Amino acid sequence: MSTHRDRLRQAMGDKVQFVQGDDACAYGAILAGCTFFAGYPITPATEVAERMAEILPKIEGCYIQMEDEIASMGAIVGASWTGVKTMTATSGPGFSLMQENLGYAIMTETPCVIVNVQRSGPSTGQPTLGAYGDMMQARWGTHGDHEIIMLCPASVQEAMELTIVAFNLAEAYRTPVLVFIDGELGHMRERLVIPEDDEFELVERTCATSREGYRPFAAGENLVPAFAPFGAGFRTYVTGLTHNEAGLPRSASAPIHDQLVRRLADKILRNTDQIIRYEEFGAEECEIAIIAYGITARACRDVVEEGRQRGLKVGLLRLITIWPFPDEVVARWAARVQAILVPEMNLGQIVHPIREAVAGRCPVMLQSKIGGELHTPTELSEALEELRCQVC
């Protein structure tokens, strides 16, 4: 009789594949232990749902197509409270619809993963083309004071790997985690190597062990409450209202609200060393820096390599974790370079927290591009030369 892992490997197919980024996100979810997916088809994210619909029934998981993205987000929140790992996938318009339930997941400390395969907007925009126009919506889209974790892969391989990381972070901190790619990376095919079970680690949420004196939202030193799934015999009251440690609504209490919301923020902010990921290239003797993320960073890496071969002192800081923002890392780069170039596939979003972190230490130049086209190495090289002439 085959084991669960045997069925999983059989369902995923060959260890080495040539697949889309959307498929890679689905593979990462399956490897991370996701057994529930709810979603609504939307270009260019539909292939994530299609792959999950194909694999989940083969491993005794559950796939359900909802009537819209509002219901999709609600479904993965509800399913997560039964103790399983859950995920949904969408694009810009659908992510907009998910904002209220995303805030509910933050307030109720519900671990889940949301993949956003971005496309141009606003409104329907360019459904088949890529963009990074939802970067600030990821941070501020839902209302109220809150923190969010968002990861931004730059390759098909990394889309799979960071989806696994997203599930681990969601489980560790009992919070929704976002994985943001774009239509280009989502539909681009690259070589993907599926890791063996001993080549990556999985994190599981800490579960309550005793019913005596149990309070569902009481947290210890790590600020993360133990989890008790519905049906396990624990009395758990879950509400989006301000609530006390027992889960009971106390919306009129300023002290309880202050204590709750600060804890929700601090459980992430106090662990940024464990959450924030980035990649540095050419940091030594760097005079002009490029700070980039996502698929744009790929062309930036080529430009930096070519520039250093010509004797230019240029380097690349690739942001992998966008939220919480790596202020200290950016500030460290700003203290040793003469200028920073920020290419973005939008009219300027992550350039704002970059400028805040730079705090006037050096000039920051935005190179924006919209319309669904990628930055070319030539455009990046010309922008670097323009910036170098301004400061040198």
| Full DSSP string of 145-170 | S---EEE--SSHHHHHHHHHHHHHHH
Parse the chain into domains and list their residue ranges: 4-199, 280-391
Give the residues across from 118 on adjacent strands. Answer: 182
Q: What is the dihedral of CA 340, 348, 179, 114, to 10 degrees?
A: 160
Q: How many helices, marked H, and strands, marked E, lie in the chain?
A: 15, 15
Question: Is 345 within 8 Å of 180 (Cβ atoms)?
Answer: no
Contact 146/109 with Cβ under 8 angstroms?
no
pLDDT in the model for residue 9: 82
Amino acid at 140: W
Q: Comparing 4-199 with 280-391, is the CATH topology the same?
A: yes
Quick one: pLDDT at residue 1? 35
Residue that the structure tokens 């210890």 belong to: 220
> Which CATH superfamily, name and number, covers 4-199?
Thiamin diphosphate (ThDP)-binding fold, Pyr/PP domains (3.40.50.970)
Using DSSP, state whether 245 is helix, strand or coil: coil
Q: CB of 178 within 8 A of CB of 148?
A: yes
pTM of the entire predicted model: 0.97
Per-residue confidence (pLDDT) for residue 4, from 0 to 100: 64
**Overall fold of domain 280-391:** Rossmann fold (3.40.50)
Coil/strand/helix, residue 178: strand
Residue 206, number of CB atoms within 10 A of its CB: 15
* Per-residue pLDDT tens digits of the chain, which is 392 residues long: 346 677 788 888 999 999 999 999 999 999 999 999 999 999 999 999 999 999 999 999 999 999 999 999 999 999 999 999 999 999 999 999 999 999 999 999 999 999 999 999 999 999 999 999 999 999 999 999 999 999 999 999 999 999 999 999 999 999 999 999 999 999 999 999 999 989 999 999 999 999 999 999 999 999 999 999 999 999 989 999 999 999 999 999 999 999 999 999 999 999 999 999 999 999 988 999 999 999 999 999 999 999 999 999 999 999 999 999 999 999 999 999 999 999 999 999 999 999 999 999 999 999 999 999 999 999 999 999 999 888 87
**From CA 226, how far away is CA 213, in angstroms rounded?**
13
How far apart CA 84 and CA 322 sit, in angstroms, is: 26
> What is the DSSP pairing of strand 126-130 with strand 149-151?
unpaired
pLDDT on residue 10: 87
Strands (E), the chain: 16-20, 34-39, 62-65, 85-90, 112-120, 126-130, 149-151, 176-182, 189-193, 278-281, 288-293, 314-319, 321-323, 339-344, 364-368
